[in-house]
Amino acid sequence: MADVASHREFLAKNDLIAEQDNALVSPDMPLRANLSVIDNIALIPQYRSNLKYSMAADQAWALLVETGFQDMYAKRDPALSYSERFVAKLLRGVISKPAILMVDRPGMLLPEVHYPPFLFSILERMAAYLNDCWIIDYQWNRALYGAQISYPELDYPELPQTQP
Amino acid sequence: MIFVTNFLTRRGTALLATWRIWRDTLLFAARAILTAATPAAYNSATRTVVMKQIYFTVVQILPGFTLFAALLSYVLIQIVVTTAASYGLSEYALEVSMRLLVLELLPLITALFVALRSSSAINTEIALMKINGELLALENAGVDTMRLEFMPRVIGGMISVLALTAFTSVIALVLAYLAVYGWQTWSLPDFSRIMGNVFQNTVLLGIFLKSLAFGLAVTVIPVAEGMATPRMLFMAPISVLRGMVRLFFLIMLIEVASLAFKYI
């Protein structure tokens, strides 16, 4: 940040956003290990909207089919590949149709694939459920995304140049 | 002098840590009971967890535990009946065996069995959920972990202990009748009169409250201990060890308090 004031403004704005109905997909937000993928996803509408399990599971199944990952529905977290785990976490966030879906450090979630194309293909399939999607990644990964996303206008400080 | 200061500091720190964990446990128990008493806390998801808890704690163990309780009850009834007969006190055999089994032993054994089987599992599960960040992830997804994870386990545990105690007590009653009167039905009025003398309303209330306290203990302590686990994997076994020791201590305390209330 350029100065302390803009830093505080940025944090206040993000606190306000965090209070809203947002969803976070992050390496620090694991799935429930003793629930299957479909139960992990269905748990959110079942709890938040008081849906019957069968209805919540139908919603979760529809999302799994839409992403093409329906074969993993009965797997539990330790049996999932990185991509499957990422999709499961994403669908857990998407199922509540959040105002903003935040994907935190996708490179850490998807170390086995070239992640920007994979991420965008999944997000495109989920377009009907998404209002806004923020991808939070390191600045040095910016080039990986190309022109497919818009960037926030943040004033980053110049890094000091080190002499060899 | 430094040695004494260090010793007292260490003991004081340990004492304060113990005090804090018991205080947190009591606070958690109060929160869980308050949440359980709030109708708005129940929804489809919480009911599913309660049902799962009852299934894992009661239904799964019912055949094995029933067989064990029946065997133990039968052996103890036979010992009491034979001993009473040898002293010429046969008329007291039924009453004594029922007081021993239904009022004291069966609730205690049920609580210990549920503690060994389910409380250790609950403690481990909650500790691992805390360490892995699963509780945090649920909170982040807008799920109240008290309503979804903790309160249903407490309710499920209490119902389970009550149900198992009631079931094994009925079996003990049937076995006692068979052991004393044999395979006939014309002694049922005598049996009913003796049981009426033993199980007066205050006694029944006492069994109910004791079983309720056992049920609360076997779920509240493991959940509270699991929640207090620091986010380090090597702390999981230590958390379970601490939880089980505290649980054993509390179960014995409830039993001793119940005995003291009744007989002293």
Residue A1 has pLDDT above 50, yes or no: no
A68-74 average pLDDT score? 94
A53-57, B70-74, B89-93: segment of lowest average pLDDT: B89-93
CATH number at residue A76: 3.40.50.300
Chain B contact probe: residue of A32, A51, A77 with most B CBs at under 10 A: A32
A136-141 average pLDDT score? 86
Residue B225 CA to residue B115 CA, distance in Å, equals 14
Nearest-CA distance A17 → chain B (Å): 13
Return the closest-CA partner of residue B104 out of B115, B93, B112: B112
Contacts of B129 in chain A (CB under 8 A): 32-33
Q: Does residue A158 sit within a domain?
A: no
Chain B contact probe: residue of A19, A28, A46, A102 with most B CBs at under 10 A: A46
Query: Who's near B72: CB < 8 A, 6+ residues apart?
Result: B105, B109
Residue B90 has pLDDT above 90, yes or no: no
B216-245 average pLDDT score? 94
* Mean pLDDT value across chain B: 92
Q: What percent of chain B has pLDDT over 70?
A: 100
* Predicted structure pTM score: 0.84
Q: Does residue A155 sit within a domain?
A: no
Contact A47 B45 (CB under 8 A): yes
Of A23, A30, A52, the CB nearest to B134: A30
pLDDT of B77 reads 93
Domain boundaries of chain B, sorted by first residue: 23-31+42-263
Query: Who's near B263: CB < 8 A, 6+ residues apart?
Result: none
Who wins on pLDDT, A147 or A128? A128
Contact A53 B44 (CB under 8 A): yes
Residue A126 DSSP SS3: coil
- State the residue range of the domain holding A88: 17-140
Q: Does residue A153 sit within a domain?
A: no
Of A23, A50, A96, the CB nearest to B43: A50
Q: Does residue A100 sit within a domain?
A: yes
pLDDT of B232 reads 93
Q: Does residue A163 sit within a domain?
A: no
A42-46, A140-144, B215-219: segment of lowest average pLDDT: A140-144
Residue A22 CA to residue A109 CA, distance in Å, equals 19
Residue B105 has pLDDT above 80, yes or no: yes
B42-66 average pLDDT score? 91
The packing angle between helices B151-181 and B106-114, to 10°, is: 140
Q: What percent of chain B has pLDDT over 90?
A: 77
Size of interface A-B (CB pairs under 8 A): 58
ipTM of the complex: 0.79
C-alpha separations of A134 from A15, A26, A85 in Å: 15, 12, 19
Q: Does residue A156 sit within a domain?
A: no
Residue A145 CA to residue B90 CA, distance in Å, equals 89
Contacts of A33 in chain B (CB under 8 A): 128-129, 132, 134
Q: Does residue A59 sit within a domain?
A: yes
pLDDT of B2 reads 85
Domain count, chain A: 1
Q: Cα-flanking dihedrals φ and ψ of residue A76, to 5°? A: -105, 165
Residue B223 has pLDDT above 80, yes or no: yes
pLDDT grade, residue B208 (50/70/90)? very high
